[in-house]
Structure 1
Amino acid sequence: MDTVGRDTTDDEVLDHLPEAPSDAPAKTPPSRAHIPPPAFVEPALATLVDSPPEGPDWLFEAKFDGYRAVVAVSGQEVRIHTRSGLDWTDRFPTIVRALVALDLPPVLLDGEIVALDSRGLSNFSTLQRAMKDDQAALSYYVFDLLAEAGRDWGPRPLVARKARLAALLGEAGKTGPVFYTDHVMGGGAGLLATLCEQGFEGIIAKRANGPYQPGRCHDWLKVKCGNRQEFVIVGWSPSTHGRAFASLLLGLREDGALRYAGRVGSGFDADTQAGLEARLHALARKAPTVAVDSVPPAIAREARWVKPELVAEIAFAGFTGDRLVRQGRFMGLRADKPAGAVVLERAEHVGQAVGQPVGQAVKEGGSPMGGVALTHPERVLDPVSGLTKQGLADYLETVAPRMLPYAAGRLLSLLRCPEGTEQACFFQRHAGAGTPSPWRRKAVKEKDGRQIDYFYLTDAAGLRAAAQMGVLELHLWGSPVRKLESPDRLVFDLDPDAGLPFAKVKAAAVAMRDVLAALDLASFPLLTGGKGVHVVAPLGPGAAGGRRQWPVVAAFAKAVAEQLVEANPDAYVATMNKARRQGRIFIDHFCNTRGSSAVAPYSTRAKPARGGGGTPIACPVSWEELAKVERADFHTTADAPALMRRVDPWARYFELEQDLGAAACRVLGVKVGAGAYNG
């Protein structure tokens, strides 16, 4: 769980903490003109380490067991968002009323909503019961101030942000239910020992003078008293003793796919089992979303599989040699975290983590970008924007948490510009002797029967290796390595003829979205960083028989493109004939064939940069944002910090359980059952 610290009501443990600054909160008259609350910012996430850091640069807070909450307030208006940007304001009416009573100026707060058990400890199970039955038991512990009255507090040192936060909350921050989170300076090891003995979850260490860094970083570190981790529920085992189920079957995402991670059969009371039973039956599916051969046969025979949408928090003793949960206990469902973001947390050595520069981001899962040396980091790859090899590595490091869910575990086609864009650039698809060590090889059968080695990456070190090789563009296959013959997305590349205004490309994207929606497929827009837009429709993790084979997916994409051409032949064309493309938008559906690829979300582009504005990138946007932007290269590498702070516009991408429906295939005249590609 990626939550951060707070003050606690357990006087025996934290009575030595210093008092909050006594400055009274600066109140403004109730008659002030209303200003809307600040916009949501992606919260900072702590990196898991094996022990507390030492030295005077660190302050320490107790670690919570609740819901992370980024709260925007302006007087009587309150917005409560989860760590992923979901609006949960309506779920916490007592917290809303408490914040309204404070009559705060426009502020953006970061903290955690908790419920304390009989021992005065935050407890996730207690929190879930309180949300349902006893809202008065909820508290909001605030530990950071991100903005106030139009001023961005993020770049200021943490101690300055906390001092101002304490002043804003004043005496009310000591009595609650909106509490100021206090801390201690130094002595992390001793505090950890005390809190673990008292039953707390752990501690959070923060650089006292560090800025606020959205996303996972090394400015904030967490040390746990035991093993706790989110898992995706992939199925359940029936009970022979009259219970709703005997155990839940768990999964973790690895290399872009789910693997079986064990089962848990304790921690459920009668109400919890009843609630889970209804949700599990509603998500029932015939085929598993984990490899069947990874599940012990005795469990697989009786297993009931579900769509991988529910996230459970599990406390456990450790993992077996087969990487399965040992002595697990169910703590509750995590409705605030999408299943697509659940990965195994691995604790870094604290010395390695502390050695990272202040503000450096790391990928979800805890592995740093380091370990790959850059030669000639000063080499300029994009002379217009001035992007260097080091700058490319830094950019990829920043966006790794958003980029890797799409790029990891997929075969790559690379556009390499090792001497910069002013020299020769070239595409590379096959692995050779110089393939970097962080990358993995995959032998793939070609049409002529030959086995050719391709490559793929799995983590942030692989992205850094791409920077070392001068890779300015990463293009992805339409299927994951683990299911190479089962594509899991549709991509339509809307490529305008020279001179066509971008407004027409946006209109084409909306038209494509509407056609797909009529076929029960939700889609997402991607600014390509060049001239056009990609419209991407994810296909869920399930198996859909013949409808998920390459020939069928390619035929489906072609039929959809031809629907638009038939409706407006003067505006669109779906063939590669350049003569017919004059004055039209080419709907490139050919990237949905086996062996074809499309640019990765957040990849840089070897395209002409707008002078001084960074190198163009392929950037996911929402449909609302697409309506506002004026060009396909609107976002550049210079925007990386802001992009990481915004709500992820593709947050629902991995949650959608959609596929090529049989009825849609019939409507489009797509023949199903032609057989998968077999070389």
Structure 2
Amino acid sequence: MASDAVTIQVPGPHGDRDIRVSSPSRVLWPEQGITKLQLAEYMIAVGDAFVLANGHRPVSLQRFSADIDGEAFFSKNPPKGAPDFIRSVPVVYPSGRSHAQLVIDEPAAAVWAVQMNTITFHPWASRAEDTDNPDQFRIDLDPQPETDFRDAVRIAVELRAVMAEAGLTAFIKTSGGRGVHVFAPIEPVHEFLEVRHAVIAAARELERRMPTEVTTSWWKEERGAKVFVDYNQANRDRTMAGAYSARPLALAPVSTPLEWSELSDADPRDFTVLTVPGRLQSVGDPWEHFADDPGDLSTLLQWWERDLGNGLGELPFPPDFPKMPGEPPRVQPSRAKKP
């Protein structure tokens, strides 16, 4: 591994910034031979679109000690010695504890994060100025064994229709793996728990329409060969890989925004650190106008109340969350005591 360093110029809203990149020839993706410097150059190439999608909100950095096969860890607060243009914002975690969390405001901040051995960026659904109230409605379509990306695509199309009926404009991106992420801009007037309930309402409606293909079952043993609608990604301090963020998988894939018209022919293997900059130059950013027309959750929250009235209650939370009001027993069904 090289021990030298290079300094690269990163354009941004406050002019060019010089960012030092140590060990630039360190290979991060062994199968592709992609280096740390190439990842930094990728972040410059997609910088404006990346910041538009992920900037000005709390973000967690998924960092690696070596290449993608090495030890990974998450970093949330700015480390000592961070440049003075790197800022943070206090956030409240599910435990009730408050702590400072990083915010990416310009491309140079993302390149600095790469210098800190970051590969994947995980932004919150809320913005730095109002961390308690999300301005993004997010659904993660997660293929289970015996299902794949094409199954998630078919379900995403129906989910788009469900969201449109509820007054939301859906945007689509690859997850960077086998899944699909469906987002919508919303007015930041509901706290995380209410947004989660709206996500569950949409997920249940989708499950009713596609019962043999979609599941909202939290427990893996109950999901079968279906696509799981991961409603718990809507919780406070739960994040997905950000748009234009690289993933630590063999082909160096990128979580890539698409036009809906592209979806039927899309192959997530085509969208990588090496190819996405050229795609962005040729077709532009499908999420450029993401935030132009935020919707509200009133219809979905009405569906939530309707389902409550029909006996469908709260769903399980992640294991690290405190016990939540109305939550069913947080125990794997096969291990639950039988009456």
TM-score tier, shorter chain, comes to 0.7 to 0.9
Q: Deviations over 1:634-659 (max 9, x none)?
A: 30111112323313212331211321
Query: Identity of paired residues, percent?
Result: 26
Matches within 5 A, 1:377-392: 377-392=24-39
Match of 1:503 among 120, 143, 150: 150
The answer to whether structure 1 residue 362 and structure 2 residue 4 are counterparts is no
In 2, the alpha carbon distance for the partners of 1:606 and 1:551 equals 30
Q: Deviations over 1:322-370 (max 9, x none)?
A: xxxxxxxxxxxxxxxxxxxxxxxxxxxxxxxxxx99xx8734x3533x3
In 2, the alpha carbon distance for the partners of 1:420 and 1:439 equals 25
C-alpha distance 582-633 of structure 1, shift in aligned 2 (>3 A): farther
The answer to whether structure 1 residue 641 and structure 2 residue 257 are counterparts is no
Match of 1:455 among 90, 102, 109: 102
Match of 2:293 among 640, 649, 656: 656
The answer to whether structure 1 residue 466 and structure 2 residue 123 are counterparts is no
Could you tell me how far 1:432 is from its partner in structure 2? 4.0
C-alpha distance 371-492 of structure 1, shift in aligned 2 (>3 A): same
**What letter matches 1:625 in structure 2?**
E
The answer to whether structure 1 residue 407 and structure 2 residue 49 are counterparts is no
Match of 1:666 among 284, 294, 302: 302
Matches within 5 A, 1:165-314: none
In 2, the alpha carbon distance for the partners of 1:395 and 1:518 equals 38
Say how many residue pairs are matched: 300
What residue in structure 2 maps to residue 566 of structure 1? 208
Match of 1:445 among 70, 92, 95: 92
| 8 A Cα contact 2:57 2:103, kept in partner | yes
Could you tell me how far 1:444 is from its partner in structure 2? 2.4
What residue in structure 1 maps to residue 268 of structure 2? 632
The answer to whether structure 1 residue 427 and structure 2 residue 65 are counterparts is no
Could you tell me how far 1:592 is from its partner in structure 2? 1.2
Unaligned runs of 5+ in 2: 1-6, 309-339
SS in 2 for 1:598: coil
| 8 A Cα contact 1:493 1:533, kept in partner | yes
| 8 A Cα contact 1:362 1:398, kept in partner | no
What residue in structure 1 maps to residue 260 of structure 2? 623
What residue in structure 1 maps to residue 174 of structure 2? 527
The answer to whether structure 1 residue 372 and structure 2 residue 19 are counterparts is yes
| 8 A Cα contact 1:533 1:632, kept in partner | no
Could you tell me how far 1:373 is from its partner in structure 2? 0.6
Match of 1:587 among 179, 204, 229: 229
Could you tell me how far 1:580 is from its partner in structure 2? 1.9
Match of 1:475 among 115, 122, 126: 122
C-alpha distance 462-569 of structure 1, shift in aligned 2 (>3 A): same
Matches within 5 A, 1:68-217: none
Match of 1:604 among 246, 249, 255: 246
In 2, the alpha carbon distance for the partners of 1:539 and 1:489 equals 6
SS in 1 for 2:120: strand
What residue in structure 2 maps to residue 245 of structure 1? none
Q: Deviations over 1:371-410 (max 9, x none)?
A: 2211111111111111111001000000001110121111
Matches within 5 A, 1:315-394: 362-363=11-12, 365=13, 367-368=15-16, 370-394=17-41
Could you tell me how far 1:440 is from its partner in structure 2? 1.3
Structure 1 or 2, whichever has the larger Rg, is 1
**What letter matches 1:657 in structure 2?**
P
Unaligned runs of 5+ in 1: 1-355, 610-614, 672-679
Alpha-carbon RMSD:
2.2
| 8 A Cα contact 2:55 2:105, kept in partner | yes
Could you tell me how far 1:449 is from its partner in structure 2? 4.1
In 2, the alpha carbon distance for the partners of 1:450 and 1:524 equals 33
| 8 A Cα contact 1:526 1:534, kept in partner | yes
| 8 A Cα contact 1:529 1:617, kept in partner | yes
In 1, the alpha carbon distance for the partners of 2:113 and 2:79 equals 14
In 2, the alpha carbon distance for the partners of 1:417 and 1:436 equals 20
Matches within 5 A, 1:39-78: none
Match of 2:162 among 511, 515, 535: 515
Q: Deviations over 1:483-533 (max 9, x none)?
A: 111110111111101332432111011011010011111111101111111
TM-score (norm. length: structure 2): 0.82
Could you tell me how far 1:465 is from its partner in structure 2? 0.8
In 1, the alpha carbon distance for the partners of 2:20 and 2:303 equals 54
TM-score (norm. length: structure 1): 0.42
Could you tell me how far 1:667 is from its partner in structure 2? 3.1
In 1, the alpha carbon distance for the partners of 2:223 and 2:281 equals 37
In 2, the alpha carbon distance for the partners of 1:649 and 1:443 equals 31
C-alpha distance 518-362 of structure 1, shift in aligned 2 (>3 A): same
Could you say which structure has the higher strand fraction?
A: 1
| 8 A Cα contact 1:418 1:469, kept in partner | no
Could you tell me how far 1:633 is from its partner in structure 2? 3.3
**What letter matches 1:524 in structure 2?**
F
In 1, the alpha carbon distance for the partners of 2:63 and 2:19 equals 18
SS in 2 for 1:668: helix
Higher RCO, Cα 8 Å, sep 6+ = 2
